[in-house]
Amino acid sequence: MRVLAAMSGGVDSAVAAARAVEAGHDVTGVHLALSKNPQSFRTGARGCCTVEDSRDARRAADVIGIPFYVWDLAERFHADVVDDFVNEYAAGRTPNPCLRCNEKIKFAAVLDKALALGFDAVCTGHYARVVDGPGGSRELHRAVDPAKDQSYVLGVLDAAQLAHALFPLGDSLKTEVRAEADRRGLAVADKPDSHDICFIADGDTRRFLADRLGTESGPIVDTSGAVVGSHSGAYGFTIGQRKGLRIGDPAGDGRPRYVLDISPVNNTVTVGTAEELAVSEVSGDHPRWCGSAPTGEFECLVQMRAHGEPAPASVRYDAAQSVVTARLSSPARGIAPGQTAVFYDGTRVIGSATISSTRRASAAAQGVSASA
């Protein structure tokens, strides 16, 4: 196959490209320039897409012996990922930009361009597995290394995209990948993994949002409506947050308080107890299925954070309304609109949906719906 290997400049994508060559594919490397004004050097393990990363990717391609190009997708990335991230926070939701990048950039913009240029597949360094299913279908599964599994952030891929996806690292442990990079003479063998949000290199999300959304003071209230503090922008909070609330007076029972609700309409943040965070049901829109869309109600595991524990749930997909509803077998805490629910059948990824609302366990017990 003709394979386009997306090379970030890190060890995972470099080894993935090398393995694709070793498997007999005709491989071309490409580095995605996603920043309008890339820094020269990365700060430790924060961020990516720097000039240094581009050079590391080029050097890796030279060692592997494959052609290498840089594609400028900065404008598309800013519109589809960065602007979406800011807009979601402004609306009181908590987005995951990695999922949006995989959906809109790596497996939409890049894959579409690759196919137009005559490539058969896009190869990345994600830790996940694509397995041949019944009838020639392809299934997305968790990686062998549970600590590095990235199937959650790939849960937005549909069947057509999976048909052209190559994940050579899915059957390996991270320690094996680093050792292999060293054996292959790749200088990135010991390069730190990037983490946090790639376009916020210093990790200060609140300041990043304030620079784009400005500041506007508003109240922090408890569930009775009593004002217990103030803030400079509701977008700076997320459901389940405990630290950084800057509430002057302790709760009456002395227990810590958490963010329960964010209302951008009146710029109000509501706080309460840990018990009040408990959610028994989530509803989601923007469903994406990694194969055929399910019908009726089905039992599965649902994961609602990139590094969260999957929980048993009963799920129903309303195709007419394009809404997915998951009733959790046990209440979960800190679930926020904007996050993504990814549905699993064992290790297989069924699909995903963006959480639009939740129903708190306390409200469900009273037969009352509550939006978090």
Count of domains in the chain? 3
Per-residue pLDDT tens over the stretch 90-112: 999 999 999 999 999 999 999 99
Q: How far apart are the C-alpha atoms of 92 and 370, rounded to whole Å?
A: 15
85 by DSSP, 3-state: which?
helix
Residues 305 and 268 in one domain: no
Q: Is residue 370 part of a domain?
A: no
On whether residue 206 sits in a domain, the answer given is: no
Same domain, 358 and 262: no
Instruction: Write out the chain's pLDDT in tens, 372 residues.
Output: 999 999 999 999 999 999 999 999 999 999 999 887 665 444 554 555 678 889 999 999 999 999 999 999 999 999 999 999 999 999 999 999 999 999 999 999 999 999 999 999 999 999 999 998 888 789 999 999 999 999 999 999 999 999 999 999 999 999 999 999 999 999 999 998 876 788 887 788 989 999 999 999 999 999 899 999 999 999 999 999 998 887 866 666 678 899 999 999 999 999 998 889 999 999 999 999 999 999 889 999 999 998 889 999 999 999 999 999 999 999 999 899 999 999 999 999 999 999 999 998 865 444 434 444
Please indicate, yes or no, whether residues 47 and 156 belong to a single structural domain of this protein: yes
Q: Which residues are catalytic?
A: 101, 198
Please check whether residues 182 and 221 belong to one and the same domain: no
Residue 209's φ and ψ, nearest 5 degrees, are: -70, -40
Residues 11 and 102 reside in one and the same domain: yes
Can you give the residue range of the structural domain that contains 243? Answer: 215-275
The CATH number linked to 233 is: 2.30.30.280
Task: Mark whether 157 and 219 lie in a shared domain.
Answer: no
What does the alpha-carbon distance between residue 241 and residue 198 come to, in Å, rounded to a whole number? 22
Q: Is the pTM of this model over 0.85?
A: yes
In a domain, 105, yes or no: yes
Residues 293 and 177 in one domain: no
Q: What is the DSSP string of 120-166?
A: -EEE---SEEEEE-GGG-EEEEE-S-TTT--TGGGTT--HHHHTTEE
- For 79, the 3-state DSSP assignment is helix
Pairwise CA distance, residues 297 & 115, whole Å: 36
Same domain as 338, residue 234: no
pLDDT, one tens digit per residue, over 193-204 is 876 788 887 788
